[in-house]
Structure 1
């Protein structure tokens, strides 16, 4: 299986960095992983901060992985025991063929506690404090209000598959988290979208592409129009109901 081969090589190549733990979250941890479609979302805990020289070696490690199928979908944030507890802190992250700094969000932290897959070393609870329900809900509401709602107004984005898929699925997952305090998978979010009144032909289009089913979908312009017309008011109502 290409996924397992890639993970095995990554763990082997990471050995010189003496990782204390490596975890998978997202679809790979939550049981909704679709090989070739889903990202490989990882967190590694290293003993200490990365020096410039060590960061250079880490970049070489990831670039050498390019020979492996699916390597472009492997994303990994690197934290240390001293930096792990703060959800606002940004960590060096390999994603989309480069290094950037990103926080490990309350959603990711809750995923790791609830269904994170331990690939190496200690479990998430060793280094990550629990995520209070209020912190999780506040983050989810802020993400919908501050990131997704402004994005709805940028028409060109919604002609791309990735924005339609993530925009609607993230909204459905946020709705359930704010309503029930729980996390759901992308598959469960797809089942939730019709109940929430999302346009049926767009939900069917996402399902076809995500799970490899055949059939025509709506034209990009129509799909973008339907998605934006639904998502803008839906996010407004969701955020307004959060206290």
Structure 2
């Protein structure tokens, strides 16, 4: 196993499960020091214990990315512990299914607070530190719905499209300071979030797999590998890019 992230200080939001956990595992396996930020405190503690069992240095931060004060406090805690940050993976997010005319103010605001505001709050705090030190890499989690649209997904599509634009703006602003900002656009992934949506009757993975050219949903580790590709210092000329990791979903235009 390579050690391309040896001693790098990495923060993964939504790190207690799914893509966040897979990314934390992959970073830890390559030598990174890991901070996990998640609102689910019990699961966060379990995940941190699991990773520590592999010999990784792990710090758990129970907080919501939608709370700017909590985000500032989390980054201040990392300042005290590590004195800075090298990597941010903005993974925390929520989904939802509701027709536009039935979309309540609260449902709209919840998606925007977590999927968009939370990405901004964490990127801003990370950017302040990375710009000052002259180095750093950020990967934001977009979606296939950053690139294409779907019915009954207005808030989600709007939030993820905004993440794509934010990624480009931050990449442009911070490039001269040695900070790279990229994003991944996953297709449907086998996560607890998707499983919960299936149980709620919001999605059916059978037609989703059929719609995907490779014929299946992604595994979290497949998205994690794409994230690590974008974080890799060897790819220092890649910034402002959104990498679709979707089994061909966005390339496929035939019904």
TM-score by length of 1: 0.33
Higher helix share: 1
Max Rg structure? 1
| TM-score normalised according to structure 2 size | 0.31
